[in-house]
Structure formats: structure tokens, C-alpha cells
Amino acid sequence: DAGVTQSPTHLIKTRGQQVTLRCSPKSGHDTVSWYQQALGQGPQFIFQYYEEEERQRGNFPDRFSGHQFPNYSSELNVNALLLGDSALYLCASSLRNRYEQFFGPGTRLTVL
């Protein structure tokens, strides 16, 4: 049973560029949440997708957007990258209305 997978593992971008991160949920899960973890901090909730729609959103600007596909996989897009966007981006999957979330290994984004 495959767990949550994320790609790529690492990514280096320059300011102003755009980036897309990808996540495949654990088998059987239908809900995907994205978190940003800055160095030395706890993860911060970005948004959550269910039935291909954004259901909840944290305190992040519109530069952060996402998508969920019919197979429940998800993408996180960040436009106009800032130095402050450098972080570990974690994807978590769950069953809708179930509180337990399973995390992927994350994508380390560095913005130069």
C-alpha cells in the first residue's frame, strides 16, 4: 500500500518565477491538504482539496493556488516567487471527515 508521495524532492527557483509541486495521496484517500514549513517552524496550513474543489484555506496570498484531479492527486502552484517562499512543502492526505492525516516526505523549495 503506497503512502503519500510528492515530487520533486528538491527544487531551486529564482525570485519571480513560478513553481508547481505534485502530490499523490495514500491509496483510498480522497482529501489532500498542503502545508508550508519554514525552517525551524511548525507546518502552516495552506489549503485543502476535496472533490476537486478548494474547501478550506489558510492565511496565504492568492499567489498560492492548487488543483485536485479526478484521481485525487493534487498540485500546488506558487506564482511570483519571493525569497520568503523558501520552505519545505508538505502534502497530507486523509479520508473526508476523518481527522487523521498522513504526510508525504515533502518538497524542499529554495528561492534565490
Partner 1 sequence: AQTVTQSQPEMSVQEAETVTLSCTYDTSESDYYLFWYKQPPSRQMILVIRQEAYKQQNATENRFSVNFQKAAKSFSLKISDSQLGDAAMYFCAYVEGFGNEKLTFGTGTRLTIIP
Which residues contact partner 1 (rule: CB under 8 A)?
31, 33, 35, 40-45, 48, 56, 58, 88, 90, 92, 94, 97-106, 108
CA distance 18 to 20: 7
Nearer to partner 1, 15 or 51 (CB): 51
CB of 63 to partner 1, least distance (A): 20
Contact yes or no for 6/21 (Cβ under 8 A): yes
Between 48 and 74, CB nearer to partner 1: 48
Closest CA to 31 of 6, 11, 12, 56: 56
Report which residue type is found at 6: Q
From the CB of 17, what's the least distance to partner 1, in Å? 23
Shorter beta-carbon distance to partner 1: residue 69 or 102: 102
Nearer to partner 1 by Cβ, of 45 and 75: the residue is 45
Closest among 59, 45, 52 to 103, alpha carbons compared: 45
Least spacing, CB of residue 80 vs partner 1, in Å = 25
As measured in angstroms, the least distance from the Cβ of 79 to partner 1 is: 23
- 26 in Cβ contact with 4 (< 8 Å): yes
Number of other CB atoms surrounding residue 104 within 10 Å = 21
